[in-house]
């Protein structure tokens, strides 16, 4: 059996490194074509405002909860004086620096995931809404055509009887 698909012949001539270079070249073209105006009007894009607001709120909440979960809020009260309490406070702040970075990572990751998820869901709803509107307008157009044809046939029948 001989397979003469043009895509097979083209794929034999191309190596995987050429594909990666083309993808990288496409990415660089997109990055070079970006300008300030693309980001200036991002709030006017459909679904962008909603996804960013949910992402910011969700990311902040997840980051805060992660910080609370990982943080050790221990305070040793000593009757000998305030010196040990002050030293414990310093150790508390030194100890939680790593937790701030961890919480920040969780917050940024959550922001990205929530924003993309909300944007995709919003986009999905918009596409479905457009499809429904298109189907309804097609049905209405068919109905109006049928009515117009019936009216025209009635006019022709009335004119032929007179």
Per residue in 99-154, pLDDT (tens digit) is 888 889 999 999 999 999 999 999 999 999 999 999 999 999 999 999 988 888 88
Task: Flag whether the pTM goes above 0.75.
Answer: no
Encode pLDDT of 23-32 as tens digits.
Answer: 677 888 888 8
Q: At what angle do helices 97-161 and 83-95 cross, to 10 degrees?
A: 50
Q: Which residues lie closer than 8 Å to 145 by C-beta, 6 or more apart? A: none
Reference 51, options 42, 39, 38, 64; nearest CA is: 42
């Amino acid at each position: 059996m001989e397979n003469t698909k043009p895509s097979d012949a083209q794929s034999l001539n191309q190596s995987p490194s050429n594909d990666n270079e083309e993808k990288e070249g496409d990415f660089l073209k997109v990055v070079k074509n970006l300008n300030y105006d693309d980001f200036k009007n991002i709030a006017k894009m459909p679904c962008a405002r909603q996804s960013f607001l949910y992402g910011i709120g969700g990311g902040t909440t997840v980051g805060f909860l992660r910080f609370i979960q990982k943080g050790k809020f221990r305070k040793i009260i000593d009757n000998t004086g305030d010196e040990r309490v002050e030293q414990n406070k310093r150790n508390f702040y030194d100890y939680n620096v790593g937790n701030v970075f961890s919480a920040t990572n969780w917050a940024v990751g959550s922001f990205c995931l929530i924003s993309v998820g909300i944007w995709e869901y919003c986009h999905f709803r918009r596409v479905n809404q457009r499809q429904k509107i298109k189907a309804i307008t097609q049905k209405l157009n068919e109905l109006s055509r049928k009515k117009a044809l019936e009216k025209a046939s009635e006019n022709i029948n009335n004119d032929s009887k007179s």
